[in-house]
A and B are shown apart, each in its own frame.
Chain A
Amino acid sequence: MIHITVTVDQEHLRVIGDVASVLRAKGMHVEQVLDNIGIITGSLPEDRRPDLESAEGVESVDEQRNFQLAPPDSGVQ
């Protein structure tokens, strides 16, 4: 499984819920539908990724990145 963000294209922002339904049907486990910024987050088996990229209303599918701060006692943060 990989954690992904799906960026919904401009034309489908108003029907982001429908896009999410399509993504679910294609095997994505949808965790969040962020309708203000038009992004859907979740996870899916890596081999299903091309199915999502070709789905209607999808601008891009990107693997989630991790962010790490320096420890609290570090001089540079």
Chain B
Amino acid sequence: MSDIKKFMFVNRKAPHGTIYALESLEVVLITAAFDQDVSLVFLDDGVYQLKKGQQTKGIATKNFSPAYRALEGYDIEKLYVEKESLEARGLSAADLLVDVTVLERAEMGELMDQQDVVLSF
């Protein structure tokens, strides 16, 4: 598999309430291992996946949020968050556990247009 494609993962769901965020992260890590061009997008409730300070002990589930910090080690550095999604939730980039690029909605739309494969879970 020598061809490199642009893979975008669009995360629009909050973590913990459903398993989508966790299983999406599992695909992201595998995709990076295939040397593809990977971007992650966090939109709507998906931005909650990146909220600092998640403590899941009380709900007896695995806290997978530290894994977002490990993405850099897999050469996944393109993390995008939509500005209005953050603002609508009273959050700013400082509330997030990783460094992200905050995009205006039109910039986000343009970025989506440029992808080869868009995966959403």
Partners in one complex: no
A interface list, Cβ under 8 A from B: none
- List residues of B whose CB falls within 8 A of some A CB: none
